[in-house]
Amino acid sequence: MALSGLAATSGIHGNAPALPTRALLWLIASFAVLLVPQWDRLPIWLVVTCVVLAGWRYMAQSGRVRLPGKWLKTGIMLVVITVYVGTVQGRFTVDTAASFFVLAVGLKWLETRSRRDFYVLFFILVYLATVNFLFHQQIYWAVLNLFAVGLLLVGLQVLNAPDLPDTMASGWRRLGMMLLKTLPIVILLFVFFPRMAPLWSVPMVSGQARTGISDTMRPGDISNLAQSSERAFRATFGEELPAYRDRYWRGLILDYLDGETWRQGREEPFRRPGRVAVDGGAGELERGQYDVLLEPTDQTWAFALENSVAVSDNVLSADDSLFRFRRPADSSVRYRMKLAAAEVTRTDTAEPDNVRRYLQLPSEGNPRARDLAEDLRATAASDREVVNALMSKFREQEYFYTLRPPAMPNDGVDTLLFDEKRGFCAHYAGAATFVFRAAGIPSRVVVGYQGGDPGADDEYLIVRQYDAHAWVEVWLQGQGWVRVDPTAAIAPDRIELGLRDAVADEGSFLENEWASPQRYGDIAVLQWASLQVDRINYQWQRWVVGYQGQSQMDLMSRLPGGMGLKELGYATAGIVGLALLIAGLVSAWQVRGSGSRDPMVRLISQWHRLCERSGIPVRQGETPVQLAQRIGAARPAASNTARSFARLVNKHYYGSESVAQSDSRNAMRRLLSTMRRQLQRDSGQANTARKTPARSEG
Amino acid sequence: MFQALRVRWQRWVNRRIPRTDKQVFSQRNIFILPTGAGVVFGVLLLIMLITGINYQNSLIYLLTFLLGAIMVAAMHQTHRNLAGLELTLVKTGEGFAGDSLPFHFRAVSGKHDAVAISLCSDGHTLDQQHVPARQAADMTIALACHQRGYFRPDRIRVETRFPFGLLKAWSWVRPVSCAIVYPRPVPAPEAPSTVTDGDDQSSARSVEGNDHADMRPWREGDPSQRVLWKRYARSGQMVIADWEGEQGSPHWLDFHAFPGVDMDLRLSYLTAQVLERGRSGAPFGLNLPGQMIEPDTGPAHVARCLKSLAVLGIEKPRDDSSAPFGTRQTGTTQEFAVGESG
């Protein structure tokens, strides 16, 4: 393969590394930094292998070990690749591709002998930084990645001038200056470069499970989620935030009970996978509208408040008033929704086509719950009363809301309702739906999030994984689907204040996430700091990471000129051209300006230029007095001025120190401008009087 | 076609960079192009851009633009490394054909550091040196020369690839001054006609010398019937057939002492002899076609003799020669050699 081909051409063999040690160190350091963002998707043995191989290369540099010969190297490659293939086991996902990439870099260390290999590694590592951006787009990962690229660029400087003193500081300084000079161009390009549609559709679903709600619900599931303070999404509102108890974010509906597990009764309808604009919705938020900036879920679910309609076109309306993307959200997606007036959305008040579907129950199990349902049914006059009766039972009896529910292996609903009476939202939602169905009321479990804490200055809501929630919707004649939340009856704090307060007595909130700032809600400074960090991240996500087609078009529509994609292309070309022009002009100007900080040298070079312009070429090695004499001979009018100027030059360089330098410089400046006038006037006369060939260059 | 283009390009460069011992580099004469790595880097940027487009990843766009802009900044930086640098040929070396001749340059940088400057010519390189802003440094490049005579490198390439090695900026120095290359010393196969060891000139004359007439340039007082007129008609040189065997004197190293030997080889023999005599300190004179150096001793004399041997029959290259230098010089030498050995 390619690696062995490079070995043949690199030529140098044995123990003679021709690369400067420090350059190699920078490369290795950059590799180490670039591995950090990959830590959660790389198998540990791969990381260890890479460290060993890079360490081997470094040790070989200092002569302590030899680089492996051809056979050993081939052996190592075979072993590593075999282990890799063994661990992958045919599952080919983005993760395995990324880890193969890392593996190739690791093996390349044994091959790094010449400058050429160094450049090969440089290119691969730059692309590794690119790959890292696919997986992590938070600001700190971005900073880390850019830092690694900086290490690479400093390493290249070391490679190209290994004996330059003070390489490290001057390398960074030089790089910094370059960045500073080109930053305006980079920003302009970033803003104006046309964000085209993807050339081909490439869903990038990771094989790794992401933290988040799933499409099945077992009684214990959501309590696991409650241990995570990862962000699920952020929501920005066009008006004030809705009350806490109204923050029900619907995600998906589970309507089929399979033993203990709730599932989706119907497969998600097939949708042709298409492009998902990652930045839906442009312009200011109107009243009633809200933006959701969803973290990647690898699912097609778009979370929305009840009674919402889609505004941006990157979400689709699905059945049951849910919303879906055209393809799994593999990167963060922003979409815009609108809260509709309640009566408008009641399109489904008519009896559902298939009520039977929402009455499905396993044929047996949980007999006591079924008995309870029959009792309620017998005593209540309507469906509504059945629902209310069960809620009062939850409210009045000793039911506990806990993150540490006991195991309920057999007849879970019965055990929960009559024996243990301790559970989490998933337990109660499942049990309530079971009872309602047994009582003949169409009902379903809704999974999503409930709550969300305001971010810094209440700009937006942050909804985290521990806000995951499950509740019930029942179909009531004349009212349609109505939300019923057993958790609200058992632990009102959960719905009014959030999980932290609901389980405050138990002390189980984020008990395993000791590093999460959310765990220490009572430390105001920490909360403040964490919210500020989140705000920076939010702005980063919103304006830098999320700056794609729609945002660009929105921005352009605000600028005069109304630029479309084509105009943006022209603008980009213009920017690049302008940048090159400026760079050229700057370097030309620097050379022409004779580049001196010494004012005397500058004055003399101005004088020389004046002479050249006036048709008196300056000869090499000519003294000022000689030049002045020639000026006098060519243009008698300027004779005296030129002589005085030459005298002052000599006085500056050979005279005593006592003469005030600035005085003489000012005098010289005056002389120079006088001379300029004299020469111009003189040359004007000369031109009209006789056509001097010497003037032709002027 | 390709060759013609190349020649045109070289002519254009030569017009642009006149021969001078003191070259100041500016945007007039600095060329800049991406290196191989730079081209690959460009392709990589393109791939990154496509990745960014396909995954709608703004950060990849950002990284691509950043690296692209740094490439442009590097262009500026690479150019600035060379711009303002002043390279003066201080001294040309002297040496024997086949040796490497040092060319000493003095580099004075302008207002920016000149980092990682290297010189190269015909496969000989001087590894990079740094000249901090407004400072001077000595740079010496050793160039191999294979032929005696005047040696003037056509172009010495001045190059820098700093900072990233993705771009190279280069220019040329085309020195006016020539180095002088002495013939490669070759020990003569036998002692050349040392008939007597006496230092008396009269005893040095030998009748045996009648066997072989030797040739020497015409001197005032030589009878005209001894001039080889046929030879004059051919080569334009007045040569005397010397029947008296004057060449046998140990004082004189004679070009004509090696009949039938190729001219360059003769010069090599003579060079070896000059060196040998220079070492021993014995006085000697040198008799060359068209040139006589009276007997003397001392290093200056040796140097003079060596120089005469070096440039015998070779014209000093003119300053304004627009044709590539090497072709011209070898042409004349060959012509001369053919004419003489016939």
Per-residue pLDDT of A243-282, as tens digits, reads 888 899 999 999 899 888 898 887 777 766 666 778 887 7
B144 and B245, same domain (yes or no)? no
Q: How confident is the model at residue A694 (pLDDT cuts 50, 70, 90)?
A: very low
B178 and B215, same domain (yes or no)? no
B16 and B155, same domain (yes or no)? yes
- Cβ pairs bridging A and B (under 8 Å): 156
| CA count, 13 A, side-chain hemisphere, B43 | 8
Q: Is B73 close to A189, i.e. CB distance below 8 A?
A: no
A129 and chain B in contact, CB less than 8 A: yes
A469 against B334, higher pLDDT:
A469
Between CA B116 and CA A636 the distance in angstroms is 49
> In the prediction, which pLDDT does A353 show?
64
B107 and B61, same domain (yes or no)? yes
B250 and B162, same domain (yes or no)? no
**Nearest CB to A160; choose among B27, B84, B165:** B165
Residue B188 lies in a domain: no
What residue type is assigned to position A51 of the chain? V
Residue B1 lies in a domain: no
Q: How confident is the model at residue B221 (pLDDT cuts 50, 70, 90)?
A: low
**What's the CATH number where B42 sits?**
2.60.40.10
The DSSP line for B88-118 is EEEEE-EEETTSEEEEEEEEE--SS-EEEEE
B98 and B25, same domain (yes or no)? yes
Q: Is A545 close to B58, i.e. CB distance below 8 A?
A: yes
pLDDT in tens, A304-352: 998 888 888 888 888 888 898 888 888 888 999 998 875 544 555 556 5
B19 and B156, same domain (yes or no)? yes
Between CA A110 and CA A625 the distance in angstroms is 67
Give per-residue burial for B228-237: e unless 16+ CB within 10 Å, then b.
beebeeeeeb
Q: Is A156 close to B164, i.e. CB distance below 8 A?
A: yes
pLDDT in tens, A564-620: 777 888 888 888 888 888 877 776 676 554 445 567 777 888 888 888 878 787 777
A655 against A439, higher pLDDT:
A439
Range of the domain at B248: 201-311
Our count of domains for chain B comes to: 2
Between CA A378 and CA A345 the distance in angstroms is 33
- As a dihedral over the C-alpha atoms of residue A624, residue A627, residue A633, residue A635, rounded to 10 degrees, the angle is -90
B209 and B263, same domain (yes or no)? yes
Q: Which positions of A are annotated as active-site residues?
A: 425, 469, 485
Residue B31 lies in a domain: yes
Return residues 500-519 of A near B (CB < 8 Å).
Answer: none
Q: How confident is the model at residue A371 (pLDDT cuts 50, 70, 90)?
A: very high
Between CA B185 and CA A51 the distance in angstroms is 60
B52 and B167, same domain (yes or no)? yes
pTM of the model: 0.73
Residue B237 lies in a domain: yes
Closest residue in B to A572 (Cα) is B65
B86 and B45, same domain (yes or no)? yes
Q: What are phi and psi of A267, to 5 degrees?
A: -60, 150
Between CA A550 and CA A424 the distance in angstroms is 41
Q: Is B73 close to A181, i.e. CB distance below 8 A?
A: yes
A535 against B217, higher pLDDT:
A535
**Nearest CB to A149; choose among B44, B53, B63:** B63
DSSP symbol at A517 = G
Q: What is the ipTM of this complex?
A: 0.74
Residue B172 lies in a domain: yes
Number of Cβ atoms within 10 Å of the Cβ of A85: 12
Q: Is B55 close to A198, i.e. CB distance below 8 A?
A: yes
B153 and B213, same domain (yes or no)? no
Residue B98 lies in a domain: yes
B51 and B128, same domain (yes or no)? yes
Residue B191 lies in a domain: no
